[in-house]
Chains A and B, each alone.
Chain A
């Protein structure tokens, strides 16, 4: 009798375990593929608001040290500005607020919190809906791609970092070379892998990899890194190891870039998918 009860109890336990585990893996699948999943959005909104705010509180108490650093940076910037002359003037006027160039709108922002030692890293930037930021806004710097805004609060936004194993970017070898998806390799902060480059395409070690422009989020021709080495996969394509220009351990000031035509492109894509 006791044996039967044990078997029955074990069966119930295993059934409930399977049910909960399937629910967990379902959550994980929907959350990590970057789909429009409302619980993910809620979570990212919460993290952006709470941890962005807590970082601001921490920063307030660290103001003295920051002021000292800023005065040092100020001196270095003044020197650089004096050297840059006219170019610096144009840069200064462009940096005052949002600037529109072609179909892209650029807004400067500051990263208030970032993780970089996980496999699903994120960033929180100090611009939110009151600054006109929307989800799927790209984050770039002079040295490459930083991430994509996923969830927007009033004052802060949560972004998925390029250092996230689910982040794929369309990249091109040189200005007119082969295009393929590029993703962080998950090991260290300085390398990514450009995949699915067919064998007929020629490239050399040291060639520059740029954004392809085959995305409605990032503008084309942003330099990303240099080719280090490559290997052939299944005898049909190259996987190329790219050394990134961006130092992800020192991100502070970034540029948010939104495609003014993104809505129209998304509507066209949805229309095609619906057919």
Chain B
């Protein structure tokens, strides 16, 4: 499965279904949206990535969460810092040459690190916006940690599928 409009839309629908049917614990907010934003091809610039993040977050908020703006607010910083994070981990040439990252090219450690940064950034804003100010730090910390680990475990194989390069 390559990253294109269809696979992106299908994964947003998958996120809507996750939000609707996966009610495991109050400590778990499972999201693959930060991974989706990081996997947007590098030829898409930051402004368009932010617009895509806005649309994807809004779709999930509208159809599943019922609280408009929650995913949008958390996803926009990921889209803004996508290029900075990728350049810091993979080097400047990734965007300069309009190449896309993959586990084959850069190794799993770097890709997982990039996804972890995106997931952590997303969850920090998400938990804060989802009433985190009114909760004790310990509660938010456990919620963030559980959601971070679960989100990362789900995101890594999907990112591998989306970024896998065909044989030449």
Contact = CB atoms under 8 A, between A and B. Distances in A.
Interface stretch (B31-39, B70-78, B114-122): B70-78
A67 B2 CA distance: 45
B73 A43 contact: no
Contacts of B26: 117-119, 186-188
Contacts of B24: 117
Contact of B62 (A24, A46, A118, A119): A46
Contact of B67 (A13, A14, A28, A188): A28
Given A13-B46, A13-B80, A186-B135, A44 B129 contact: no
A58 B125 CA distance: 34
Interface string A1-45: 000000001001110110011011111111110000101101110
Most chain A CB inside 10 Å of its own CB: which residue of B23, B24, B51: B23
A156 interface: no
B130 interface: yes
Given A17-B76, A24-B73, A27-B72, A117 B66 contact: no
Contact of A32 (B57, B64, B67): B67
Nearest to B138: A187
A158 interface: yes
Count class of interface residues, chain A = 35 or more
B70 A28 contact: yes
A39 B63 CA distance: 11
Contact of A115 (B23, B46, B129): B23
B8 interface: no
A158 B80 contact: no
A29 B66 CA distance: 13
A14 B79 CA distance: 11
A31 B54 CA distance: 16
A139 interface: no
Interface string A134-172: 000000000000000000000000100000011000000
A189 to B, nearest CB: 8
A43 B47 contact: no
B134 interface: yes
Given A25-B73, A28-B73, A43-B62, A117 B134 contact: no
A37 B66 CA distance: 12
B131 A158 contact: no
Interface of B: 20, 23-26, 28-29, 46-47, 50-51, 54, 57, 61-70, 72-73, 76-77, 79-80, 129-131, 134-135, 139
Interface of A: 9, 12-14, 16-17, 20-21, 23-32, 37, 39-40, 42-44, 46-47, 50-51, 115-120, 122, 158, 165-166, 186-188
Given A27-B72, A46-B63, A120-B131, 12 more contacts: A16-B50, A21-B73, A25-B129, A28-B68, A28-B129, A30-B68, A43-B62, A46-B62, A50-B63, A117-B25, A165-B130, A165-B131
